[in-house]
Structure 1
Amino acid sequence: MTLHSNYSISPLSEFLLICFPNYQGWQHWLSLPLSLLFLLAMGANATLLITIWLEASLHEPMYYLLSLLSLLDIVLCLTVIPKVLAILWFDLRSISFSVCFLQMFIMNSFLPMESCTFMVMAYDRYVAICHPLRYPTIITNQFVAKTNAFIVARNALLLLPVPILSARLHYCGKNVIENCICASLSVSRLSCDNFTINRIYQFVAGWTLLGSDFILIFLSYAFILRTVLRFKAEGAAVKALSTCGSHFILILFFSTILLVVVLTNVTRKRVPMDILILLNVLHHLIPPALNPIVYGLRTKELKQGCQKLLWRGLQIHRRAPL
């Protein structure tokens, strides 16, 4: 199978994903760190979910929100990374239209779902610090269930048109996507039709959702900081800020990675295509790998729960017959 552009007079039925078109020789070496990061992300998020599920003391709204974040990370990883590794290892570049547009939908909708989850977690910390007496009545299990439904419905419905608009385009010529993933614009550029509407809708919908989430996150932390600065008890401010330290680190890392991806895409003429492709892949891999680790290391209750889980596993292993 040639890596050059394939052309066809009849409508196409599949795409070809070409990872790192200018560096085909070293892509097998790149698969090793990507595989390790993928295993780390899946293992860490699975451990966090199991710990929260088995440990009764962690059955609280804050940890339910963290569970949702882990579920989103797992789905994103499984949607993107296995196909990337299949391309790097086995040269399995073809991807059907239906699978490609499904991957596009999940990537476009789950990213804002994560930012919306961060927004709800920021509100959780705002209520806990600024209105501690009202926290048990505001942040309830019912509140978490409603916010989870809102997070999924808002982003899924508003971003569903992105793959639909791309699927409605007529693909009659080039079918080689110079990317490891079915990014919306990478796919739409291959069509024989004008895709201006696709570009405008994705830009407006995506940045409206992400922008509103980050504005609300900023306001939540502004109110938290204002409240903390009023604490007069010695060490109270440090203790209050430490309760949301893990959350703030994750938001900072998420926004930094997102900003790097956006800036490199804006300056795509100055940045090599392979760098853009690598950043897009890492954006779906590094945050899922680090999120549970940051929370596990900085949250005492979660760290103790993980230690109990590992101890139980060791006990079961020792009792198992050889």
Structure 2
Amino acid sequence: MSAFNHTPSGPSTFILNGIPGLEAAHIWISIPFSMFYIISLVGNVMILFVVSKEQTLHKPMYLLLCMLALTDIGGSTCVVPKALCIFWFSFKDITVDSCLTQMFFFNMIAAMQTAILVIMAFDRYVAICHPLRYTTILTNARIAKLGLVGLIRAVLLILPQPLMLRRLPFCVNRVIPNMFCEHMAVVKMSCGDTTVCRTYGLVTTLVIIGLDLTLIGLSYGLIIRAVLRVSSKKAHQKALNTCTAHICVMLMSYSSYLFSALTHRFGQGIAAHVHILLVNLYLLVPLMLNPIIYGVKTKELRDKVGKYICRM
């Protein structure tokens, strides 16, 4: 491996240090990370393939699943390939522009994913509270427009982060103790006044999560009210089953997003290697489990996936 050691960092590069304190175990750590990535790719590509091939799945709910699958693929691809280059070959150098680009796409995809979870909650609200009007309220075209609005919002909110950082001077010591260019890790590399960058990053996180969780909470509050008005236990169970997959994915996504955002700001007491390892696992595990959860919980999708697997 020594033949692949990185060259000295130039004035326009950072060094991604992987998981500090566990450099000797990088090869072993790469095994679960590569497995998570492969499982995530296979599961999400399978969803995209099956939904695109099956005319009966060309519905709003499955269009949303495809959007979620694309964000899962994008989020993991932003992190894992570079991380594996660090683990396997010690390719630790990354240019400042590449680092800021990686940071932008990762954060933008995370913001897009939380917008999709809001649309999914609205989809469940309409399906349970207004089932007879579902096909007229939520068309594929309307879902696509809502997805575009979520994408535009994500770009507009996240784009200022790398633009502000690009204008700041960076210190001589440019070693980032992480596997990827996380926003706060890059901010700490600057020798300039980072108050605005830190504040904007925190406010953006709180605005995105606060607004989206409020909308999701409102949707589920209306769903619970509608369900409680029905006396049938069977109807209660059916309504709960339609929401189970979304609730599981939502809990994993928001917990990982909050854990990553807040520990960099308030987790100074956590050991560096434990902190970095937990942050990256919290980010990657939900991306791997999302297609599995929806594949297991959504019968129509599960049957179609099973049909294609049997043909192989």
The offset of 1:226, in angstroms, is 1.0
Say whether the 8 Å CA contact 1:80–1:284 is kept in structure 2.
no
Partner of 1:15: 14
User: In structure 1, what residue type is equivalent to 2:16?
Assistant: L
Partner of 1:111: 110
The offset of 1:234, in angstroms, is 4.3
Equivalent residue runs for 1:73-112 within 5 Å: 73-112=72-111
The offset of 1:262, in angstroms, is 4.5
Say whether the 8 Å CA contact 1:162–1:202 is kept in structure 2.
yes
Which stretches in structure 2 are left out of the alignment for 5+ residues?
A: none
Partner of 1:27: 26
Equivalent residue runs for 1:80-229 within 5 Å: 80-229=79-228
Which one is further off, 251-260 or 111-120? 251-260
User: In structure 1, what residue type is equivalent to 2:214?
Assistant: I
Deviations 1:20-74 (A, max 9, x none): 2212111211111111111101111111110111111110001001100000110
The offset of 1:102, in angstroms, is 0.6
Using the alignment, how far apart are the partners of 1:192 and 1:232 within structure 2? 63
The offset of 1:266, in angstroms, is 4.5
Deviations 1:115-134 (A, max 9, x none): 11000000000011011111
Say whether the 8 Å CA contact 1:169–1:188 is kept in structure 2.
no
Using the alignment, how far apart are the partners of 2:228 and 2:145 within structure 1? 32
Partner of 1:290: 289
Partner of 1:65: 64
User: In structure 1, what residue type is equivalent to 2:135?
Assistant: P
Using the alignment, how far apart are the partners of 2:129 and 2:263 within structure 1? 38
The offset of 1:306, in angstroms, is 0.2
User: In structure 2, what residue type is equivalent to 1:228?
Assistant: V
Using the alignment, how far apart are the partners of 1:153 and 1:199 within structure 2? 22
The offset of 1:311, in angstroms, is 2.5
Using the alignment, how far apart are the partners of 1:234 and 1:306 within structure 2? 30
Q: Secondary structure of 2:62's match?
A: helix
Say whether the 8 Å CA contact 1:261–1:276 is kept in structure 2.
no
Using the alignment, how far apart are the partners of 1:136 and 1:207 within structure 2? 34
Using the alignment, how far apart are the partners of 1:172 and 1:270 within structure 2? 24
Say whether the 8 Å CA contact 1:77–1:285 is kept in structure 2.
yes
Partner of 1:320: none
**How many residue pairs align between the two structures?**
307
Using the alignment, how far apart are the partners of 1:108 and 1:262 within structure 2? 10
Kindly, what percent of the aligned residue pairs are identical? 38
Using the alignment, how far apart are the partners of 1:290 and 1:47 within structure 2? 13
Q: Secondary structure of 2:14's match?
A: strand
The offset of 1:307, in angstroms, is 1.1
User: In structure 1, what residue type is equivalent to 2:80?
Assistant: I
With the length of structure 2 as denominator, give the TM-score of the two structures: 0.94
Q: Secondary structure of 2:15's match?
A: strand
Using the alignment, how far apart are the partners of 1:102 and 1:225 within structure 2? 42
Deviations 1:159-208 (A, max 9, x none): 10001111111125111111111112211221221111101111112210
Q: Secondary structure of 1:39's match?
A: helix
Which stretches in structure 1 are left out of the alignment for 5+ residues?
A: 315-322
Using the alignment, how far apart are the partners of 1:102 and 1:7 within structure 2? 18
User: In structure 2, what residue type is equivalent to 1:38?
Assistant: Y
User: In structure 1, what residue type is equivalent to 2:287?
Assistant: P
Say whether the 8 Å CA contact 1:41–1:290 is kept in structure 2.
yes
The offset of 1:283, in angstroms, is 3.0
With the length of structure 1 as denominator, give the TM-score of the two structures: 0.91
Using the alignment, how far apart are the partners of 2:185 and 2:230 within structure 1? 51
Partner of 1:281: 280
Partner of 1:43: 42
Say whether the 8 Å CA contact 1:15–1:175 is kept in structure 2.
yes
Please state if 1:256 is matched with 2:255.
yes
Say whether the 8 Å CA contact 2:185–2:264 is kept in structure 1.
no
Q: Secondary structure of 1:170's match?
A: coil
